[in-house]
Amino acid sequence: MNQVCFSFYYSINNGSDNTMKMKILSSNALKMIAIAAMTIDHLAWLLFPGYSTDGVALIMHIVGRLTAPIMIFFIVEGYFRTKDIKKYIRRMFVFALISHFAYALMFNKNFIPLQSSLFDQTSVMWTFALGLTALAISKSDNPKLKPWHKTVLVWVCLLAAFPADWSTPAAVSILYMGQNRNNFKKQTLWFMLFMALYTIVYAIFLNPLYGLLQICVALAIPLWRMYNGERGKWKGMKWLFYFYYPVHLAILGIIRIVFLSA
């Protein structure tokens, strides 16, 4: 029995033939899963406003928990694959700015953040942009940046993400997953630790049930494991998510105002 258990552990952690057979999803496929899950989640917020306890709404939100971890995973991958990290960061902040207004429209938020609350004041794109920036700073080889400079700047980024969707835990997940990119086990453990903290904060300050739902991000981990390291045939996926995110939020926001009078 011990030998069987050891063989199973070895195959999972050392890339045996069985493990390799599981790597069947390209980045395009995973991003399409993220887009579909995100759309389902946002439709749930539109059709079942507030913290609904309806079973259909809860299932839709559980499906929606796949999106953030997949995007966090690919932001980390993007850092290591991009040819120009500064351009990548600028692009993230541009789309964070654009997405803010679409997010506010969809979720009935004030266009000027922090007017009524510290939570969920802007979109997750702001969180992602700051997490990417923190990762870039931590790995910078700029001689002008001393270690304490990096520490201060990273903390500024992480704290600045607090008022946004998915908040500081998502930003720090990008940081630690990037620092442990070649160790899937450590990436997963750090991610789940920070998501557990997010679950607690969400449950205390926003809603207990919906706080617990956040831990369903764990459902995305097997999908990470199935990533084969390839982009896929279509080159346009890189831009689809950037544009789809604010556009679909804006459309749902218009539907909310015009047809649901909410």
Tens of pLDDT, residues 182-191:
999 999 999 9
Residue 40 in any domain: the answer is yes
Residue 91 in any domain: the answer is yes
Q: How many domains does the chain have?
A: 1
Residue 13 in any domain: the answer is no
Q: Which domain holds residue 206?
A: 25-258
Cβ atoms within 10 Å of 205's Cβ, excluding its own = 11
Residue 3 in any domain: the answer is no
CA distance 251 to 259: 11
Tens of pLDDT, residues 33-74:
999 999 999 999 999 999 999 999 999 999 999 999 999 999
Residue 137 in any domain: the answer is yes
Tens of pLDDT, residues 179-220:
999 999 999 999 999 999 999 999 999 999 999 999 999 999
Residue 12 in any domain: the answer is no
Residue 5 in any domain: the answer is no
Query: What is the sign, positive or negative, of the torsion defined by CA atoms of 23, 234, 102, 173?
Result: positive
Q: Kind and range of the H or E element at 207? A: none
Phi-psi region of 119 (alpha: psi -120 to 50; beta: other; left: phi over 0): beta
Residue 161 in any domain: the answer is yes
> Taking 80 as the threshold, does the pLDDT of residue 140 lie above it?
yes
